[in-house]
Amino acid sequence: MERMGVYSTIHHPSAKRLQVVKERIKDFEFEVIENIDDAWTALDTGDLDLILAPANIVWNERVKLASMQFDVIAALTRNHPHHVLVSEDGLEHFPAGGVILCEEPLISRQIKRRRAKIDIRTYASMEIESDTTEGLHTAQNLVESGEINGFVTHRGAYDSAGLNGRRHALHNDPEARGVPRFVPIPFCDLIVVISRQGYPVHNISDWTDEHALNAWMVQRTVMHRTPVELHELIGVHYRQQQIGPILTEAERVNDLFVLDNLIDPEGDVDDEPRYEIIVELLSEDGLRTTSMERIGPINRLDIDIQFMMNDWNNLLERFMAKEGGFIRP
């Protein structure tokens, strides 16, 4: 019987997500991990065979994991890779000077880009913890009492904390043509499986998701190829779909970028599933944006992401060379 350690945070509830696929998992015992350093030690000594953990934590621990010869070998299906605004009103109906609590620098800038006159504050400025159930309920009570107008949190944290306030998804909505978009922070809603090198991946293929593993690979590559000082300011969107739904959506919203990428000059379309990648950086005031998008066949993803990052680095060099740095904090 193999053993899997499960490490959760309120934003990325690994244990709850595991319950969805538990019926498909055979011959595993599970152990809840309270300290991530203990998890790495247990994996290294062989007390654990696998660890399930939030991808953002795994990325932050990447140097240690590489030195210990650990690999990310799989990922769980993503549910809601975006944040939510908990508020009675959506951003379009916010009053000037309305107060929003938000801990994510990128999302704060995206909100400023959408509504420049909103007052964005950190949770800490009101002595509230953003990563506890108690803190999120305190924020919801402040909305209900009228002391603030709203707060931003992970969609996963909204569910984990048992919140019931009205929520508004902050995501890349193809229907919102001409409206500044919300590109998610890296590794949002992504939970990965870590093993020692050489683990037989086919043992866990019944309950893991190749799409989500591709999302890990793309976002890890983007972060690796982007200067460290910009990591808190970058948004990365990844998804993959069959060609039919992509075309239907693009035709409905008249997305010429997507249509030009999918239909050749003769009007033909192949049926290979496609990936979609968006990478974006914002200036501090949210008024200046640099971004890059790619759509292509899944079977070229490993190659295409490297060419995309070459172009991304060239773009960043031009902007960073400008006086004032454009996108520096």
Tell me what pLDDT residue 273 has. 86
Within-domain flag for 137: yes
Within-domain flag for 216: no
The mean per-residue pLDDT over the stretch 13-26 comes to 88
State the helix-helix crossing angle for 210-224 and 301-320, rounded to 10 degrees. 30
Specify whether 153 is located in the same domain as 118. Answer: yes
Within-domain flag for 7: yes
Specify whether 73 is located in the same domain as 87. Answer: no
Tell me what pLDDT residue 313 has. 93
- Residues 29, 17: Cα–Cα separation, whole Å: 16
Tell me which of 267 and 236 has the higher pLDDT.
236
Which of 87, 85, 274 has its CA nearest to residue 182? 85
**Domain around 51:** 2-77+188-207
Tell me what pLDDT residue 181 has. 86
Specify whether 286 is located in the same domain as 228. Answer: yes
Tell me which of 323 and 55 has the higher pLDDT.
55
Specify whether 120 is located in the same domain as 63. Answer: no
Within-domain flag for 177: no
pLDDT tier at 284, thresholds 50, 70, 90: confident
Specify whether 195 is located in the same domain as 279. Answer: no
Specify whether 280 is located in the same domain as 134. Answer: no
Show the tokens assigned to 208. Answer: 């893991």
CATH number, domain at 116? 3.40.190.10
Tell me what pLDDT residue 233 has. 87
Query: In whole numbers, what is the pLDDT of the chain averaged over residues?
Result: 89
For 34, phi and psi rounded to 5 degrees?
A: -95, -25
The mean per-residue pLDDT over the stretch 286-293 comes to 85
- Residues 135, 133: Cα–Cα separation, whole Å: 5
The reported pTM is 0.89
Within-domain flag for 325: no
pLDDT tier at 329, thresholds 50, 70, 90: very low
Average the pLDDT over each of 35-44, 119-128, 278-287 and give the range with the smallest value. Answer: 278-287
Tell me what pLDDT residue 221 has. 97
Within-domain flag for 212: no
Specify whether 195 is located in the same domain as 314. Answer: no
Within-domain flag for 45: yes
Q: Are 51 and 8 in contact (CB under 8 A)?
A: no
Provide the number of structural domains found in the chain: 3
Tell me what pLDDT residue 321 has. 62
Specify whether 52 is located in the same domain as 200. Answer: yes
Q: For 184-230, what is each residue's pLDDT tens digit?
A: 999 999 999 999 999 999 999 999 999 999 999 999 999 999 999 88
- Residues 35, 199: Cα–Cα separation, whole Å: 23
* 66 has pLDDT over 50: yes
Specify whether 96 is located in the same domain as 158. Answer: yes
Specify whether 72 is located in the same domain as 89. Answer: no
